[in-house]
Amino acid sequence: MDMIRWPTKAGYGTASIGLGAVELMLQVYLLELYILAGLKPSLAGTAIAVAIFWDAVSDPLMGIISDKTSSESSLGPRVPYLFMGTVLLSVGFSFLFSPQTGASQTTLFNQLLIWYLVVNTAMTLYSVPYLALINDVSAGEKERASFFGWRIVLGSIGLLIGIGLPIYFSPKNSQPSIEELLSSRATTGITLGIIAGISCIFSAITILKFLRGHTDQRKSTPYTPYNTGAIFKQALVSPLFRYLAFGFVAIAIGRSFNSSLALPYYRSTLKFTEEQFGLTILTLTVFIIASAPIWVRLANRFAKATLFLSAVAALAILSSIAYPTIPPKAISWIILVASIGGILVSSIVLLDSLFSDFVESEKESQSRDVSGAYYGIWRMLSKVARALGIACSGLLLSAIGYEEGSLSQDYSTERAIAWAFGPGVAIFLAAGAFLISRTRQNRNSEGKRVSNA
């Protein structure tokens, strides 16, 4: 099987531009948006958690459906879902970021819940088949790692868009009103919905063109009917899968908790303006983009798990020490921390690659295509983790007395946010690192299902 050229990999990764921007807006801005609109933090966190739990349940179902969809059509078994997901995502995201001003708690809760359910369903329709396609067309660990590298780099460009658009459309006065902020977010949502649609369609067309022109490039693994329950059991009885999956869950909870508290931390505790917050996220993203290819190259020489664990441990230590101690308005210190943090966060490409290697070994050992099912389970766990992280952040903000509809908080609330943003996140990172470290002890017993070369 010939190596796939980089333009195809780049075209495939283009969807990550829109998906990355959407993910950043959802994780960083959504909770605070509805709190500013007047929804209680506990209700906002609950609505978001419910929508994400639905997303989690739908992921493995979508994976199984895409595995079992007939490949006889000219579009193949997975590509049709990409087009359906694109349309739904563009429409749903625009409405999600347009909360009604002055609405009741019930109205705001229902608007958040319904449109977030739509957006998450769209993300499931697109993302699960999209990820499974990597294992369908690529050959070998290095090529799969290259695909994930392109996803990280282009997804980081999406993060830049997700950072830049809110700043570009933000009110220009130094002390904007809540109504002005809500209006700017609505404009951002509509614009980003269009951008996400364009990037996802371009990626789907690139994949379709490649599959039509390289039918010999498709994996020869024939479709064999499988029992869904047996696939789940197969995954759960594997110690290697359990340690990989639950380590990933712990880290994902920490990342979601961190993202949800980012705006309250930077705006309330550090007294940053919208532009300073954007500069911080921009710095983080630039270093993520620059570091992703380096991690991919290092993985060709050193053990992936060891590299990843070292990065996560360093990130946990950095978060614990830096965030509670940085004084208000200390933008230079935050830029330094964001630079180092971006390098370390970029190592997540190694965890994705480790799981991709595991999926490939399962396909070979079972002699059937189970990529969709396993990626569905993987994404389900990530969504459960994100829901838990957001729910925890909403409950925390309510517990410490964070006032909805207010841009300023009292000192005790600010300090509580700082400690949660630093050591609180580090606890989840450390737990995830510990679990993933156990994969090295189980690799031999799994028949070296995940290569650590």
4-25 confidence digits (pLDDT tens): 777 888 888 899 899 989 988 8
The whole-number pLDDT of residue 56 equals 76
d(CA 359, CA 381): 15
Q: What sign for the dihedral angle of Cα 195, 345, 264, 51? A: positive
The whole-number pLDDT of residue 260 equals 81
The whole-number pLDDT of residue 17 equals 92
The whole-number pLDDT of residue 450 equals 40
SS (H, E, C) 412-447: HHHHHHHHHHHHHHHHHHHHHHHHHHCHHHHCCCCC
The whole-number pLDDT of residue 346 equals 84
The whole-number pLDDT of residue 389 equals 84
| pLDDT tens digits, 49-101 | 888 888 778 877 887 787 777 666 556 668 888 889 999 999 999 999 999 87
d(CA 72, CA 214): 15
The whole-number pLDDT of residue 70 equals 65
**Amino acid present at 443:** R
The whole-number pLDDT of residue 79 equals 82
User: Which whole-number Å values give the CA distances from 161 to 20, 131, 205, 382, in the listed order?
Assistant: 9, 22, 22, 23
The whole-number pLDDT of residue 219 equals 46
pLDDT above 70 coverage of the chain, percent = 83
User: Which whole-number Å values give the CA distances from 236 to 47, 72, 232, 241, 243, in the listed order?
Assistant: 29, 32, 6, 7, 10
Contact (CB, 8 A) for 376 and 20: no
Q: How many helices (H) and strands (E) does the chain have?
A: 18, 0
The whole-number pLDDT of residue 32 equals 82
d(CA 237, CA 234): 6
Q: Which two tokens stand for residue 220?
A: 């020869």
Q: Which residues of the chain have pLDDT under 70?
A: 1-2, 70-77, 138-141, 145, 174, 213-237, 362-373, 404-407, 440-453
Considering the entire predicted model, what is its pTM? 0.66
**Amino acid present at 402:** Y
Q: At what angle do helices 105-137 and 79-96 cross, to 10 degrees?
A: 150
The whole-number pLDDT of residue 139 equals 65
Residue 139 CB contacts under 8 Å (≥ 6 apart), including other chains: 1, 3
The whole-number pLDDT of residue 217 equals 46
Delineate the domains of the chain, giving CATH numbers in brackets: 6-217+228-442 (1.20.1250.20)
Q: Which two tokens stand for residue 92?
A: 């749903």
